Chain A
């Protein structure tokens, strides 16, 4: 069974640009969540999608948005990138139990 797949693995963008990250959950998992990991901050919850609907949102500015498609694949978009957006972005999928399964993440560097 394939795990959670995130693309791309690494990304370098310039301040002011926008970026789209992609996540393919484990087959059958309908819940997809996104997290931002920065040094010293741990993993910060961004948002969660279930059946194409955003169920939960963390405390991030509106520049951070996401969506989920009918096949449960999810995308996350960050507009007007800032240096502070440099981080590891992790996607997790869940079947309906508390345990979530994480992808390897996308390392975003904003220069």
Chain B
């Protein structure tokens, strides 16, 4: 049972344009959602997070939107840069004092120069 789903395994975007990565979840008890970026041969790096009580969080070129009614979140990268090419993982957690993340299967983003 995949509680966090990233239905697009890959995405290609031109440099300078917007990249939109999507994530759907099934468990309404999730409190926090996070996005991680992963380069080959490295561990995931935290990118941005959003609390379930918010609908938007912005950090520089990265914005995460949360639609609780649709159980959907998205990561927008504007403008996209070649260095953004990586695998992006969406993760969710319930902050019941423990830190157990449920990850999606990832979306490979390729930004074309």
Contact = CB atoms under 8 A, between A and B. Distances in A.
A42 interface: yes
B105 A41 contact: yes
Interface of B: 32, 34, 36, 41-46, 49, 89, 91, 93, 95, 97-106
A6 B91 CA distance: 22
Contacts of B46: 99-101
Interface residues of A, number: 27
B47 to A, nearest CB: 9
Contacts of B43: 4, 6, 90, 92, 102-105
B105 A100 contact: no
A33 B42 contact: no
Nearest to B50: A98
